[in-house]
Chains A and B, each alone.
Chain A
């Protein structure tokens, strides 16, 4: 049923009482303008405040001049300097980033292919296959962590390889639990694809590969992006599985933070996290600025 999107913003005729909010004399609120109702704004405001209060605390406490960081003792930048000079922290962060990038690339490719297979084909044992694909999402993380530890030990995975090969064990584990998530997201996206387009392309003489590249892939892209984003986050933040598969030279950021934080919550950790947040925000803001010129409802 085609919807005239102009309905959404037009003044409603004969519909329920469109409330006039008392402070905005701008336009009458349409019945579906939920986001502009004051109670919704209040709700959103409170929710975001609660979401960010701990983070704000975290950032504030990174300036705390106290070894134990429990009570506020004074303002200082020294922990930022300490964090910046902390080689092992940097190494851990680099490891985390490398693993996340590699894992995301592999997961996206593999997950995308799995999604396409499930979307397109009918084959014997499909429900069971789908079930097995869902397993990594269902498994308790600690179980998988131990499984990975035992697996790599039993098959004698070589240790002590030069960087970045020594991160291979962790990366493999990350891909294993990430690609089903990507598959789910991509599959959800593909459910909206009109197969007639594919058939039309084939009718016009396109080969399998051309059809894929020029018709299917562009449609898949948002799903792939969303899936990649998810895989990236999962990998970057993973603690349990990485903990069991990491060794002396392959410490990642969450594992490092965990070991630092169990004993003494120094402001150094807060400083490192704040730096991370700031970098992320700046990077994202920049990226969005870059693509804003041709922003619009087009896809």
Chain B
């Protein structure tokens, strides 16, 4: 597709690009640069920060403990993203192959939880996962029934299933954090995937099956490569916010559920160390921005599917 050189139509170019550029520069880059400048500052008092253009904050953010937290955040976000992908992919395929009258309903069913406030959804998740929550209630019911059956066939006194129902520790640990992340970010993965699978030319699949490939092979060799832009969009839309999240580890996590978002949040609140918090945030941003730039470089003019 041929791009027009901006010079051929200057007026149109300026009219179209000015609002976005203005907003970005004044209401995004300007505030962000204030924080960027802060990251080179030093606390000289409770409220005062002196911009001494020091690298101390960045040096401090490379200490072992912070790198450990960043690594853990990357790891947890990665797991959550992969899980999201594995769950969302079949869902988007199912929706796109569903009969037409079901499609909007199914899509809406996926998006609807998204319209409920994040905090409320997380608290609701707690009610499901905790020791006396739904999941454990259901498991306990199974346990009781199994015990009843065992007693019925005469094996009751052996306590084959243990003396007492051991509730699964599903909350206040890393599992809960990942489950929470998947639960919250699912629509972000389903929508781009669906958009891509929907545009897929079904005749490719037909052809592949005609040529004798099984369903799995078709999936691997035809569907996935063709929907790769959607996959990448979805992965980016989930991984990056997950990396910076602090509410979910705060509410669902256990004693070691600390992600870099929590550390940053603490710097801006309890620790009252805004320069350091700024430095940490920018470190996080440089990393993600670098990865994005790398991807953009590798995929050049991809037809506008970049995020």
Q: Which residues of A contact B (CB under 8 A)?
A: 1, 3-5, 7-8, 14-16, 31-35, 40, 43-44, 47-48, 51-55, 57-58, 61, 71, 109-111, 113-114, 116-123, 127, 130-144, 146-148, 150-151, 154, 172-173, 175-177, 179, 183-184, 187-188, 190-192, 195, 208, 233, 236-237, 239-240, 253-254, 257-258, 261, 265, 269-270, 273, 276-277, 280-281, 284, 288, 295, 297
Contacts and interface: CB of A to CB of B under 8 A. Distances in A.
Contacts of A188: 195, 304-305
B246 to A, nearest CB: 7
Nearest to A61: B127
Given A151-B31, A176-B23, 8 more contacts: A32-B205, A51-B109, A127-B296, A136-B28, A139-B281, A184-B307, A233-B114, A239-B247
Interface stretch (B9-17, B61-69, B161-169): B9-17
Closest 4 CB pairs of A and B: A140-B244, A151-B31, A54-B124, A143-B281
A130 B289 CA distance: 12
Output the residue of A139, A141, A150, A236 with the most chain B CB within 10 A. Answer: A139
B238 to A, nearest CB: 12
A63 to B, nearest CB: 14
A149 to B, nearest CB: 9
Most chain A CB within 10 A, of B90, B98, B115, is at B115
Nearest to A253: B117
A191 B117 contact: no
Given A15-B209, A55-B113, A176 B24 contact: yes
Which applies to chain A's interface (DSSP): helix, strand, loop or mixed? helix
Contacts of B195: 188
29 contacts: A3-B201, A8-B202, A15-B209, A35-B102, A47-B87, A51-B183, A53-B128, A58-B124, A58-B127, A120-B3, A121-B6, A132-B29, A134-B306, A137-B236, A143-B35, A143-B284, A146-B35, A173-B27, A175-B23, A176-B24, A176-B28, A177-B28, A179-B20, A191-B304, A195-B2, A208-B9, A277-B112, A281-B112, A295-B101
B285 A139 contact: yes
A98 B133 CA distance: 36
A44 B110 CA distance: 11
Interface residues of B, number: 103
A151 B20 contact: no
A176 B23 CA distance: 7
Interface string B253-268: 0000000010011001
Nearest to B99: A35
Contact of A52 (B27, B113, B274): B113
B157 interface: no
B250 to A, nearest CB: 10
Interface string B172-204: 000000000001001000000001000101110
Main secondary structure of the interface of B (DSSP, over half): helix
B31 A144 contact: yes
Contacts of A141: 241, 244
Interface in B220-279: 233, 236-237, 240-241, 243-244, 246-247, 261, 264-265, 268, 274, 277-278
A273 B120 CA distance: 8
Q: Which of A143, A144, A237, A269 counts the most B-chain CB atoms under 10 A from its CB? A: A143
A278 to B, nearest CB: 11
A281 B111 CA distance: 11
Residue of B3, B87, B120 with highest tally of chain A CB at under 10 A: B120
B118 interface: yes
Nearest to A139: B285
B100 interface: yes
B201 to A, nearest CB: 6
Q: Taking each of A133, A142, A177, which has the highest tally of chain B beta carbons within 10 Å of its own beta carbon?
A: A142
A151 B98 CA distance: 49
B134 A53 contact: yes
Contact of A16 (B209, B264, B278, B304): B209
B31 A237 contact: no
B44 to A, nearest CB: 17
Given A16-B214, A121-B4, A140 B19 contact: no
A273 B118 CA distance: 11
Nearest to B133: A57
B296 A44 contact: no
Contacts of A54: 121, 124-125, 127-128, 183
Given A44-B91, A142-B264, A280-B115, A122 B6 contact: yes
B13 to A, nearest CB: 6
B139 interface: no
A184 to B, nearest CB: 5
Contacts of A61: 127
Which of B97, B101, B109 has the most A CB atoms < 10 Å from its CB?
B97
Contacts of B306: 130, 134, 184
Contacts of A142: 244, 246, 261, 264-265, 268, 281
B303 interface: yes
B78 interface: no
B108 interface: yes
